[in-house]
Amino acid sequence: MSIKEKYALTDEGVRNVKLGAIWTAVSNLVVFAGMGIIFLAMSQFVASLTEGAPLPDIMPYAIGLAAFILILFFTEDKAYHYQYGVIYQESGRQRIGLAERLRKLPQAFFGRRDLADLTETIMGDVATIEHAYSHVLPELYGAYITIGIAAVGLVVFDWRLAIAALWSCPIGLALLFGSRRFLAPVMRATRMKGLAVSEDIQEALECVREVRATNQEERYLDGIRADIDAAEKQTIKGELFTGICVNGAQVVMRLGLATTILAGAAFIVDGTSDFMTLFAFLLVVSRIYAPFDQCLMLIAELFAAKTASARMQSFYDEPLATGGETYEPAGHDIVFDHVGFSYNDGEQVLEDVSFTAKEGEVTALVGPSGSGKSTCSKLAARFWDASSGTITVGGVDVSTVDPEVLLGDFAAVFQDVLLFDDTVMGNIRLGRRDATDEEVLAAARAANCDEFVERMPQGYQTMIGENGSRLSGGERQRISIARALLKGAPVVLLDEATASLDVENETKVQEALSRLLAGKTVIVIAHRMRTVMSADKVVVLDGGRVAEQGSPAELMAKGGLFARMVGLQTQSAEWAL
Ligand SMILES: Nc1ncnc2c1ncn2[C@@H]1O[C@H](COP(=O)(O)OP(=O)(O)OP(=O)(O)O)[C@@H](O)[C@H]1O
């Protein structure tokens, strides 16, 4: 496996790791060169002390040391640049790559992975790799290169002492990487426990209102505490395991120093070596493990990075929602032809659903809760792909069209309105980014937004808070309607579009809607029969199947499920508390 795959790096990232490793190795070798200068000076001083030779001229050594410091500064600066300087660009590229990928993934993927998990991958996993990338990877590869070159030098100098010094490096590293098999599951478990805590906190923040309203704070906090405790225990276990493995490997490596002293002493005694050779070896050997020290301390990060990159890779392994960019429909009739569907291979939600929503007509989907109305509208816009049968828009099979291209023809107002922490104007303009202020204001007026926007301190320039937290349900929905109106797409999906509006507002919005929806293909999902009665066609769903379809009058005359639902709603409307 290449390092590109192992650590989910971009091509630029791989290039930078290689350059970082090379500069780290050069820097390490420069340190050895510095030691060479010290060694030469020492041997001349020793010679003058022991053999009465004249004292050496200090100048060349002083110049050598000054050059050494300058070169070391230069090479360290280069190594630092490739290790730390460019890492933030790499993380940026990784995050943008993931976000781009997410944009193209089918909805089915989001059904399987929850929000905390996805955010953790984009932020947490990339940060883990970032740390391993900056602190470990170039150091580790640089250390391999350094030790390789130093080993050649030592063997040439004295092969016997070289063996005594270097035997411990491969054994120490083999022990460490061998223990990865035990470490990897521990690291993975630590990551998953940490993720569970993030999920808990995210859920607690999202549901804070419901938790308070139902007096569940204590119970909720107990759950979070239990997960934090479990994460803490697992983290300690992980640290302990890593500590044992890393320290074990370091001790084994350092044994090389001891065997060098023992072997050197023995060779001096039998006269096959001398003190200065042993001194040179000890200088080099004491430094040879240093490049490994920092990366060994952080080796756990490298293992954690592999878990993180596997999680990132799962985004890339997921098949994309593909489709052609050319989309030339003949009109915008939407035809469901024997459509079957289940979410993530679960229970069958739609079965043999066939109906046509004609251009220029309002087609109402009705039926009991959970009968599959929203699912039908989402399949039409290819948020999901049908499991069987086909859905066409203007004769074009939607599964053959790039989802982003197809969505250009759809405007949607769903129950769960999504708003951004931006101004009212900015939120409506999302419908069409190049719309002029006048067009945005016209759409807002048509959706009856004026009435509440005028009461806001800065009118349409007022910030509405995260996901429109400062707006009521009805106000949020009117912004969403304005957005859909501004888009002016030929197909409009309305899911309970007027559910949060009071009677007066509903009438106003309905007027605006009917004026502006004229001539388009409109699919409305509404529980209220009053809305449905004005539709051109009604498709009644029951348990994922089409129970009946036709004009409201035809269905009333038939006396089936639709007529019964209308009857029930009329009765309940007459009830009073
Ligand atoms: N994202 C999803 N993943 C798994 N199952 C889902 C998902 N969305 C809906 N379902 C299931 O599919 C079935 C149909 O749901 P759908 O939302 O289409 O019904 P609906 O008729 O629009 O209901 P309602 O009127 O209550 O909004 C339900 O049983 C629901 O639990």
Highest mean pLDDT among 109-113, 254-258, 305-309, 335-339: 335-339
Q: How does residue 264 score in pLDDT terms, banded at 50, 70 and 90?
A: very high
The closest residue, in CA terms, to atom 1 on ligand 1 is 111
- Distance (Å) from CA 220 to ligand 1 centroid: 27
The closest residue, in CA terms, to atom 26 on ligand 1 is 369
- Distance (Å) from CA 350 to ligand 1 centroid: 10
- Distance (Å) from CA 544 to ligand 1 centroid: 10
Burial class (CB in 10 A: 0-12, 13-18, 19+), 52: exposed
- Ligand 1 close to Cβ of residue 343 (< 6 A): yes
Q: How many Å apart are CA 281 and CA 286, to the nearest integer? A: 8
- Ligand 1 close to Cβ of residue 373 (< 6 A): yes
pTM for this model (two decimals): 0.68
Strand extents, DSSP E, 343-387: 348-357, 362-366
Residue type, 532: V
Hey, what CATH topology would domain 416-488 get? Rossmann fold (3.40.50)
Of residues 107 and 376, which shows the higher confidence score? 376
Could you tell me where in the chain the CATH 1.20.1560.10 domains are found?
159-297
- Ligand 1 close to Cβ of residue 369 (< 6 A): yes
SS (HEC) of 542-568:
ECCEEEEEECHHHHHHHCCHHHHHHHH
- Distance (Å) from CA 372 to ligand 1 centroid: 6
191: which residues sit within 8 A by CB, 6+ positions away?
304, 307, 308
On the CB side of 58, CA atoms within 13 Å amount to 0
**pLDDT tens string 405-437:** 898 899 888 777 788 888 889 999 988 888 899
Report helix, strand or coil for 402: coil
Q: Report ipTM for this prediction.
A: 0.96
Residue type, 407: L
| Whole-number average pLDDT of the chain | 85
Q: From the centroid of its chain, how far is CA 89?
A: 16
Note whether 135 and 295 are within 8 A (CB): yes
Hey, what CATH topology would domain 332-409+491-507+519-572 get? Rossmann fold (3.40.50)
- Distance (Å) from CA 378 to ligand 1 centroid: 10
Highest mean pLDDT among 256-260, 271-275, 508-512, 567-571: 256-260
Q: How does residue 577 score in pLDDT terms, banded at 50, 70 and 90?
A: very low
73: which residues sit within 8 A by CB, 6+ positions away?
none
CA nearest to 102, candidates 310, 304, 414, 314:
314
**pLDDT tens string 297-324:** 777 777 778 878 888 888 888 887 777 7
- pLDDT over 60 (residue 379): yes
Q: From the centroid of its chain, how far is CA 269?
A: 63
Q: Which atom of ligand 1 is nearest to the CA of 376?
A: 18
Q: How many Å apart are CA 53 and CA 447, to the nearest integer? A: 100
Structure-block tokens of residue 364 = 């109402």
- Ligand 1 close to Cβ of residue 427 (< 6 A): no
- Homologous superfamily of 159-297 in CATH? ABC transporter type 1, transmembrane domain (1.20.1560.10)
- Ligand 1 close to Cβ of residue 107 (< 6 A): no
Could you tell me where in the chain the CATH 3.40.50.300 domains are found?
332-409+491-507+519-572, 416-488
Looking at residues 50-74, what average pLDDT do you find? 86
SS (HEC) of 112-172:
HCCHHHHHHHHHHHHHHHHHHHHHCHHHHHHHHHHHHHHHHHHHHHCHHHHHHHHCHHHHH
Q: How many Å apart are CA 415 and CA 500, to the nearest integer? A: 9
Integer CA distances (angstroms), 7 to 62, 96, 389, 422, 456, in order: 44, 16, 41, 36, 50
